Structure 1
Amino acid sequence: MKKENVVREKSFRFAIRIIRLYQYLKDRQKEYVLSKQLLRSGTSVGANIREADNAESKADFIHKMGIAQKEVDETMYWLELLKETDYLLENEFVSIHKDADELLKLIRSIIITAKANR
């Protein structure tokens, strides 16, 4: 039986939410530039976590998780910008931003632990 990987699962679910939000912004709000940036950074998180799972060394693992951390933070920036420019309502923003913040904290914790265990 395969061991559950919480950060991998959360990042995958987050990417799905980002893709659906991108579709909403593009189709309903007719917003194409910011939403594309959001799509790129939001789906990159899980991709970098997957790469970290296959890291060649502890340093490589920490590096890939560091990139994932940066991508989550960038995603939060685009979400904040979309909210402040009225493309997202407060309740739409709060839900997905909360998920991003939880993911960011989880990734930071993993990096700190990995550095301590070097």
Structure 2
Amino acid sequence: MLSKQLLRSGTSIGAMVKESEHAESKADFIHKLSIALKEANETEYWIELLYKSDYIDDDIFNSIYTDVKEVLRILISIIKSSKLK
């Protein structure tokens, strides 16, 4: 069940980023990326939970966790810079 939640939230990130490429306005672009950010945050939660529940080992956790943290940083940066323009 946990892995299905991770799959759902993890794939939602990409879907929302893809949708943002064809946003109807700047506000729509920011909104879609904000949803992607929420999904990335949820993905981080599920990864942590899988790790703390011993479903994934240290190596897998560190690899995936590093990636999701980078995605979070990128999304935050894009959203902030888009709001300033």
State the TM-score, normalized to the length of structure 2.
0.99
Map of 2:11 onto structure 1: 43
Q: CA offsets per residue over residues 34-75 of structure 1, 9 Å max, x none?
A: 000000000000100011110000000000000000001100
- Whether 1:64 and 2:64 are equivalent positions in the alignment is no
Map of 1:116 onto structure 2: 84
Name the SS of the counterpart of 1:63 in structure 2.
Answer: helix
- Whether 1:78 and 2:34 are equivalent positions in the alignment is no
The percentage of counterpart residues that share the same residue type is: 55
Which runs of 5 or more residues in structure 2 are unaligned? Answer: none
Question: Alignment partner for residue 96 of structure 1, among 61, 64, 68?
Answer: 64
* Larger RCO of the pair (alpha carbons < 8 Å, separation 6+): 2
Which runs of 5 or more residues in structure 1 are unaligned? Answer: 1-32
State the TM-score, normalized to the length of structure 1.
0.71
Which structure has the larger Rg? 1
